Copies of this chain bind each other. A is one copy, B any other.
Amino acid sequence: MAEAASRITAEIDFDQQGRQAGYLRAPLSRNTSGWGVIEIPIVVVKNGSGPTLLFTGGIHGDEYEPQIAVSELARTLDPATVQGRVIMLPAVNIPAVMNDTRLSPVDDRDMNRCFPGDPRGTFSEMVAHYLDAVILPMVDASVDLHTAGHSSDAALSTNMHYIADPDGMARTLAAAEAFGAPYNVVFSGVDEGATLTSSVERRGILSLGTEVGGWGRVNIEGVRIARRGLRRFLNFMEVTETGLEEDDDPKTRHMQVSDRANYSFAPAAGLFEPCNLAGDTVRSGDPAGYLHFVEDVDHEPIKVTYKRDGVLWMSAGPGRVARGDTVAVVMNEYTGGRL
């Protein structure tokens, strides 16, 4: 059988000039609605000539700042100010967004582990396929906004993979500086083959990610960084030439996460008391925190240490962790070389 087409239809026409706001309609048969659909919000602003940008939030449902920043831009971006096309999806994994969870409640999948997707697969796979096969072929640059969700807190940052091509690398570093988060993290991905980023990179599209919050709360500063970053990125790509009211010369510190020695893991399931906040400077051998076993009287806590000096990128998230969970990620100054 020939490759299946997407079952998802769009209410908007990607080639039309001006602003369109509507929904992607993804079919989902339910017990009480055999022809039921899931509507995924999408706004497209197109004008004149210029590149196509893709801004995505809510691929994980409990990452709030991206949803707020992308939907605000989607409500307010004036087509008259645009040269090119901006595709904005503030709540890609809408069932997870409404369920307030990272994973989709429809299929219990992490959509960011489902790329390049499958048009006949589960809901998450079907949406991943649509992004990969229908949206990405139109796109020149992508910012996929994330936070640390309920897993951790994050030092506010953009992130990117190491890119072998020097021009691509330089351009992405410049894009990150333009976005203007306090940190930009270059990292060598682990278990990354099925993320949206991996699909974007396979197509040679300029790609940025972000970590603009965590701990399951809405980070006020994270929302501000994300809002400003998207506006600045539009200017960087020359899609807009907007004068920005806010502090227009943020400094971004380029960092790197090279390998497993940057990570500290929980050696057992327990209650983790961290010793530092994201952004703190830490030293190898210092305690990252203590794992408590309050269910056992007289059970001494286990000390978990850092394996490397640096700045804390990700700090412990939920109080209670499972064995093998990441409880700290340290980042170092970017050295400019291959990771």
Contacts and interface: CB of A to CB of B under 8 A. Distances in A.
Contacts of A326: 33, 35
Contact of A34 (B25, B60, B294): B60
B273 A21 contact: no
* Integer count of this chain's copies in the complex: 6
Nearest to A114: B120
Given A41-B296, A218-B273, A7 B102 contact: no
Interface string A142-175: 0000001111010000000000000000000000
A321 interface: yes
A319 interface: yes
B294 A68 contact: yes
A300 interface: yes
A253 interface: no
B271 A67 contact: yes
Nearest to A320: B100
Most chain B beta-carbon contacts within 10 A, residue among A34, A120, A295: A34
A155 to B, nearest CB: 15
A215 B217 contact: yes
A176 interface: no
A110 B297 contact: no
Interface stretch (A91-99, A180-188, A230-238, A243-251): A91-99
B297 A29 contact: no
Interface string A284-308: 0000000010111110100000000
A116 interface: yes
Interface in A64-81: 64, 67-68, 71, 74-75
Contacts of A292: 67-68, 71
B275 A91 contact: no
Contacts of A220: 273-277
B318 A32 contact: yes
Interface of A: 1, 4-5, 7, 21-23, 25, 27, 29-39, 41-43, 57-58, 60, 62, 64, 67-68, 71, 74-75, 90-91, 94, 97-98, 100-103, 110, 112-113, 116, 120, 148-151, 153, 190-191, 193-194, 215-218, 220, 223, 271-277, 292, 294-298, 300, 316-326
7 contacts: A25-B324, A31-B150, A36-B322, A36-B325, A217-B318, A218-B272, A220-B273
